[in-house]
Amino acid sequence: MLIVRPMSKLTAVVLAAGQGTRMKSAVPKVLHPIAGRPLLHYSVAAALEVGAEHAVVVVSPANRQAVAEALARAFGDSRISLVVQDPPRGTGDAARFGLDVVGSGLVLVLYGDTPLLAAGDLAALVAAYRSQSPDVALLSCNLDDPSGYGRVLRGSRGEVLEVREDRDLESDGQRAVREVNAGVYVADSDTLRRSLEQLSPANAQGEYYLTDIVGMGARGRGAVAVSGGAENLVGVNDRAQLAAAEEAMYRRIAERHARAGATVRGDARIDDTVALGPDATISAGVFLRGNTTVRRGATIDVGCVVTDSEIGENAELGAYAVLDRVTVPANARIDAFARRV
């Protein structure tokens, strides 16, 4: 007789309480915009897309209200919960706050500053955990310059032994390791809870490191590292990294629309919130922003800036038109250099 075991439900815990001091901004790091959405949006969306039934977002007292409003607009209230970490005592402590409101099942822990993390990356991690049943599974990647990142340290047989933060590395050999921790984990909630209870701040930062659960797992049923592409897994810590991530996101968005039947040329910038119909043509230098919809067969010429507008079927915008909250009827044409605000 074949016995089919039901899959455990999956809950996401998204860590978003960090101060983000390197952004040098009054705006909380996870709320900085990238391609029309807050940075945090993409991590939450990826977790829900991969099958998380609920996302628990760990925030700080300072960003709680703004984060709550941003997530409610995008996802509603039923699938998102917020938990406040106060005082801030490290990532392991933040995960404990999140886990306090999680029941049984699998827990996916990730950060709110990894906008390029895709559901496919998370699906591979969850699949590895379910097939191998270690204490913990984590995502890793290889970097040419791993300085500043926690290293995945392995034994002589290639087994994962631990993750050690950059400032706690003990030798040149450890510092030369190119495999770094991407900060995304899957574990059973009971196992994760026991591991988090054992954390101590015996490190250079004097904080509770979430990475310590990897060493604990290695000493138990094992820790499994699933390798992914660095372009998806590296987080955003400053404005330069934010700009680089946004460029990559714009390329990803353009490719998505192209595969769906639209033509996107050159360096067009299309927010993640924009909808394009089949056979729409978007020329180089165009910016499509906010809740803009471009219907089937519409053409938008070079240099147009369109915000929160609807462009009807087979309509045409001449070069450098600027539209803000405008509805363009089907088959209409807005001549070059027109301005409709």
Q: Which residues are known catalytic residues?
A: 22
Q: Comparing C-alpha atoms, which of 91, 75, 115, 97 is closest to residue 185?
A: 91
Q: Comparing C-alpha atoms, which of 335, 330, 303 is closest to residue 317?
A: 335
Report the C-alpha gap between 44 and 52 in whole angstroms: 9
Helix (H) / strand (E) element for 306: namely strand 305-307
The first and second tokens of residue 118, run together, are: 């895709």
Burial class (CB in 10 A: 0-12, 13-18, 19+), 70: buried
Strand partners, 138: 185, 225
The first and second tokens of residue 115, run together, are: 């906008």
The first and second tokens of residue 6, run together, are: 């039901």
User: Hey, how many other C-beta atoms are within 10 angstroms of the C-beta on 173?
Assistant: 9
Strand partners, 181: 140
Q: Comparing C-alpha atoms, which of 140, 108, 137, 158 is closest to residue 213?
A: 137
The first and second tokens of residue 270, run together, are: 């299309």
The answer to whether the CB of 175 falls within 8 A of the CB of 168 is: no
The answer to whether the CB of 222 falls within 8 A of the CB of 104 is: no
The first and second tokens of residue 127, run together, are: 């699949």
The answer to whether the CB of 110 falls within 8 A of the CB of 184 is: yes
Please give the C-alpha separations between residue 69 and each of 19, 41, 49, in angstroms, as whole numbers: 18, 12, 21
The first and second tokens of residue 145, run together, are: 């310059």
Report the C-alpha gap between 97 and 208 in whole angstroms: 12
